[in-house]
Amino acid sequence: MNTAVAPKVQVPDVAGQITYAMRSMGVAPIPRNYQLFYEAYIGSNPALTRDLAALGGQVTQAELDALGAQHFTHSPARVFDDAHTRISGELDGLLRILRQEQSSLESYTRLLGETHKRITSKSNASVELIENAIDLLSQATGDTMAHGERTVEDVVQRSQEMDQVRKELDEYKRIANTDSLTRLSNRRAFDDRLAAIFDNSSMRPVTALLLCDIDNFKKINDAYGHPVGDKVLATVASVIRSNVRRDIFVARTGGEEFALIIDGNTPEEVTGIAERIRRTLETTPFKNSRTRVNYGPVTVSIGICMASSAGDAGELYSKTDIALYGAKNAGRNCTILYQDGMQKDFTKSWLIYKT
């Protein structure tokens, strides 16, 4: 593994960048606008990023809403409002059924009580009375049982409807947490998983964050166009996923950057995993099977930081980012493990390496 003195970096604050962009464009600070700018900023939806940029410096709320409707077919507000409406309807139906069942049972109970009084009264005792009571109870019991069966059927049906809503919400969550291009987890899922690292202090010494950035990706996009760039991203994602264990979390966190969260390994073992990914990509052919045009070689730079070196999720990401751009500064196509003091040696912005 290469070691290097990393350049000093001011790690971008995503929330700050988004807020600044919205303010400079005169965009209202409302949740749906934050979602739109967040998705565009992290680059998980290149078409959205391009369409938002095409709107220019000043945009209207109507234009933003139209863009959201176009790109967010599974809008969280829309999905959850629909689920809330459907579940509320099913619960109302269940309450109505149970009230009807209660009323039916109360009527049956009253009938039993009245019949019991008439039968036990010696002054009214007669064969005809007993026969009538038996007929009446038999009919009432049959009606009550039939009503109970219908109630069970209705309850089962409505329970199935609510179970279907739950399944649809689970599917929505899966879609909402998946990058549409690479089928890996997206930035939203990554943020949740990164924060969860610090819920278990005992795992931090053997938990690592890796940031993997494609070298010179902008040149590939500029030379061959975005469709080729998208194919390169998909191939890189596939190579990363196929070279790690199934339990390792892999996400595309934006643009040409990927993240891995690895549990249960030492720094040396994590570095070995990173190097396997790097070497495999270095030798992977990136050719157009029809035109035989070679888009490669495609290489990556990788930064690593153990969770034990950070106090929270933000610090872990920042230190891993420092290691990543230390790898860029060392000549790209290498892996750097964050070391204490590395940040103090920074002298220039890492943004110049993002080409």
Structure confidence at residue 133 (pLDDT): 52
Structure confidence at residue 100 (pLDDT): 67
54 has pLDDT over 70: yes
**Range with the poorest average pLDDT among 125-129, 173-177, 233-237, 278-282:** 125-129
Name residue 185's beta-bridge partners: 178, 251
* Main-chain phi, psi angles of 186, to 5 degrees: -105, -170
**Which class in CATH covers the domain with range 187-353?**
alpha beta
Encode pLDDT of 130-157 as tens digits.
455 555 555 655 565 565 566 556 656 6
- Give the residue with greater pLDDT, 198 vs 77: 198
What is the largest distance, in Å, between two alpha-carbon atoms of the chain? 109
**Range with the poorest average pLDDT among 84-93, 128-137, 195-204, 331-340:** 128-137
Confidence of residue 333 (pLDDT cuts 50, 70, 90): very high
Structure confidence at residue 347 (pLDDT): 44
Q: Which of 39, 101, 256, 257 is catalytic?
A: 256
CA distances from 246 to 45, 183, 243, 262, 333 (A): 25, 14, 9, 11, 25
CA distances from 305 to 94, 260, 264, 351, 355 (A): 53, 11, 14, 20, 23
Residue listed under structure tokens 């009527």? 107
The total of other beta-carbon atoms located within 10 Å of residue 61's CB is 13
* Main-chain phi, psi angles of 340, to 5 degrees: -55, 135
206 has pLDDT over 80: yes
Average pLDDT for the chain: 78
- Look at phi and psi of residue 59 and say left if phi exceeds 0, alpha if psi is from -120 to 50, else beta: beta
Residues 266, 206 contacting (CB under 8 angstroms): yes
Interhelix angle 226-242/267-282, rounded to 10 degrees, is 140
**Highest mean predicted confidence (pLDDT) among 1-5, 49-53, 336-340:** 336-340
Please state, in angstroms and rounded to a whole number, the distance separating the CA atoms of residues 332 and 324: 9
Please state, in angstroms and rounded to a whole number, the distance separating the CA atoms of residues 291 and 243: 28
Structure confidence at residue 114 (pLDDT): 61
Structure confidence at residue 353 (pLDDT): 43
Residue listed under structure tokens 């902008």? 218
The total of other beta-carbon atoms located within 10 Å of residue 260's CB is 24
**Highest mean predicted confidence (pLDDT) among 9-13, 47-51, 104-108, 115-119:** 47-51
Structure confidence at residue 293 (pLDDT): 86
- Edge-to-edge strands, sheet with 207-214: 249-254, 257-263, 207-214, 300-306, 335-337
CA atoms within 13 A on the CB side of 50: 4
Structure confidence at residue 208 (pLDDT): 97
Q: Where are the domains of the chain?
A: 76-176, 187-353
Instruction: Based on the residue annotation, tell me whether 90 is a catalytic residue of this protein.
Output: no
Encode pLDDT of 164-180 as tens digits.
666 666 666 777 788 88
Structure confidence at residue 250 (pLDDT): 98
Reduce the DSSP state of residue 174 to 3 states and report it: helix
Average pLDDT over residues 75-103: 61
334 has pLDDT over 50: yes
Encode pLDDT of 285-324 as tens digits.
998 888 888 888 999 999 999 999 999 998 999 999 999 9
Residue listed under structure tokens 């495609």? 298
Structure confidence at residue 315 (pLDDT): 92
Q: Using a pLDDT cut of 70, give the percent of the chain over it.
A: 63
Please state, in angstroms and rounded to a whole number, the distance separating the CA atoms of residues 334 and 226: 25
Please state, in angstroms and rounded to a whole number, the distance separating the CA atoms of residues 226 and 48: 13
Average pLDDT over residues 58-72: 84
Rg (CA), the chain: 32
